[in-house]
Amino acid sequence: MARVQRFEDLDAWKRARTLTQRIYQVSNAGPFAKDFALRDQLRRSAISVMSCISEGFERESGDKDFRHFLSMSKGSAGEVRNQLYIAFDAHHITESEFNELSALAIEVSKLLSRFIAYLDRCMRT
């Protein structure tokens, strides 16, 4: 298996970037744009998903530390999903947008889970 040289090559980071882009798009429209608290918290959570992956990768401090950052990223993906429920219940996003964004957050979370499991196996050997 080839060694990844940049965080930008990680599938989890790429999908987290797509999630963040979509969060910004939907939160810029209609009443969502004026719900500053929820809009900003949702954006910060999405940003955190990406940022924790990149920060953990760039630290180069070993698999255990990187795993910790991936775990924080996964937690932020869960926070995104929770806030999507709030946005949907407040009628800031449509059911279609909710389903799309929630599915994307779940996909990112699954990618992170697999990456964490991979690092766990590497640390045992």
Residue with tokens 């940049």: 6
Ranking 60-69, 83-92, 100-109 by mean pLDDT, the lowest is 60-69
Average pLDDT of span 19-32: 96
Q: Give the Cα separation of 18 and 4 in Å (integer).
A: 20
104-117 pLDDT, tens digit per residue, is: 999 999 999 999 99
pLDDT of res. 4 = 80
- Global pTM value: 0.93
* Fold that domain 10-124 belongs to in CATH: de novo design (two linked rop proteins) (1.20.1440)
Q: What is the mean pLDDT of residues 59-83?
A: 94
Inform me whether the pLDDT recorded for 1 exceeds 50. Answer: no
Mean pLDDT, the chain, integer: 95
**Over the range 43-62, which residues count as b (16 or more CB within 10 Å of their CB) and which as e?**
bebbbbbbbbbbbbbeeeee
